[in-house]
Amino acid sequence: MSTPLILLILAIIAVVCYVVGTRHALAIAGGLSSKLHSRPGYYGSFVAICAVLPAAIVLAAWLIASPLYINSTIRGGFPEDVKAKSEAEQGLAFGMVNSLARGMDILTLDEIDKVGANPAELRSALGAKGVALAGDPEPYMVESAGDLNAMNKISNRVMTAVVLIVALIGAGLSYTRISHRFRARNRVERVILGALVVASSIAIITTIGIVMSMLTEAGHFFGRVPAWEFFFGTVWDPRFAAAGAAASEGQFGLIPLLLGTLYIGFVAMLVAVPVGLFSAIYMSEYASPKLRSVAKPLLEVLAGIPTIVYGFFALTTVGPFLRDLSSSINGIATGDFANFIQAQSVLTAGFVMGIMLIPYVSSLSDDIITAVPRALRDGSLGLGATKSETIKKVVMPAALPGVVGALLMTASRAIGETMIVVLAAGVAARMQLNPFEPMTTVTVKIVSQLTGDLEFTSPQTLVAFALGITLFVITLCLNIYALFIVRKYREQYE
């Protein structure tokens, strides 16, 4: 029986158990649910959970364990000369066996008998059924494929039987436990609690998994390139990953990329912070409620625009505009119409990224400024301070720690931003301070090292993981520090 079918049967069992359990509980209570410890539905749920949960766990365990066992048995049955070959070639052979097994399942017995002896014919017969093989199968492979199919069939039958028996036993045992005083609610709620815990752990466990995998890959990279050359190298020149040409490994200096990231982030903050802060002050202190109720959601919508759109905007509009502007200015000043701002430059990328960040700065700061208690404003106004004095001398100082936290969070976004810089900053890894020239960032290089046909064993691709983990650590530190500041600030008033 196929797995979806088993799941469907389990679902039906659950529904039946629920109905039967509920009815039985009510019958025991003589129709008065007040005589029961829990509501009748809980008894039904209890029976359903007892039936399905252990069965589902058995099913999952079987689905994981049985292929592992079968595969190792099949590979153990390979001829000695195959076993002597390298791990990769054994894997290849096993892949063939797998495809063969899948194909032989589709062929009828007659067809197998007809072509079984001739590998080439078998291959073409399978090809006609849509199962492509990498090469002509060898006789031992056909044999193993037959074994594989047989074992799979047995395993599936046993699994179906075991799962259904477990479900029925669970249902039966729990059904007999239903009585007046049985605490079904407590048990059902414990299961629900467990489900909630599992759900919330998934995100955390996934994060840990991602970090671990990045760490291992970065570890492989540092096995090939010394860490100090990566962290303190000033030249980024990875070369191409030519297969087998170990001598052509390039130089992987992080410094030019980090410098570009920080420089572009700095320009972006230079644009976003003043504009965003002023807009936050206007929104929280001066705007009428009507205007605020319209303008604030609008600003937040701006934060939802995909960054690729901003990148496109930078590439097609802002960059060419700045280039043409610079050439005009140069022409008027010196008579030479050469542009001194490149279309792809730190300025273009930083400016557009700044525009992207304005809603973040504004929205976060607005929340923080609004959270400053009204009593403080009243206190200041009651002393005869004007509104602007109150904002400058009481509200902003009180909100400052929170605002700084918000700015740090924004900065970590600027550092991790990818699409805008990919399109607008350029790809030249250079160390220079002219904002009109292109520079590149860590994120851009991660993208460029990982696009195209790759083998994941060369330092040229592995370096992306080292870059990724570096970026991750930087933004993580910024975010933690920002959260720390914001939380500390919250405590002052609550």
Residues in contact with another protein by CB under 8 A are 288-289, 373, 375-386, 389, 393-394, 397-398, 492
Shortest spacing between CB 15 and another protein, in angstroms = 55
274 vs 397, beta carbon nearer another protein? 397
Tokens of 284: 């929280």
Tokens of 202: 């998934």
357 vs 372, beta carbon nearer another protein? 372
Shortest spacing between CB 395 and another protein, in angstroms = 10
Burial class of residue 147, CB neighbours in 10 A (0-12, 13-18, 19+): middle
Taking a C-beta distance cutoff of 8 angstroms, is the pair 217, 462 a contact? yes
Shortest spacing between CB 33 and another protein, in angstroms = 45
- Name the one residue in this structure whose structure tokens are 């069965």: 55
208 vs 375, beta carbon nearer another protein? 375
Shortest spacing between CB 282 and another protein, in angstroms = 16
- Name the one residue in this structure whose structure tokens are 């860590």: 442
Burial class of residue 36, CB neighbours in 10 A (0-12, 13-18, 19+): buried
- Name the one residue in this structure whose structure tokens are 């604030």: 296
Ramachandran bin of 426, using left for φ above 0, alpha for ψ from -120 to 50, beta for the remaining angles: left
164 vs 381, beta carbon nearer another protein? 381
385 vs 454, beta carbon nearer another protein? 385
Distances (CA, A) of 327 to 317, 321, 332, 336, 348: 16, 10, 9, 8, 15
350 vs 402, beta carbon nearer another protein? 402
Shortest spacing between CB 285 and another protein, in angstroms = 11
Q: How far apart are CA 9 and CA 398, in angstroms?
A: 62
Residues paired with residue 236 on neighbouring β-strands, in sequence order: 252
Instruction: Give SS3 for 73.
Output: helix
255 vs 396, beta carbon nearer another protein? 396
Q: Of the candidates 119, 141, 123, which has an alpha carbon nearest to the alpha carbon of residue 132?
A: 123
Shortest spacing between CB 404 and another protein, in angstroms = 15
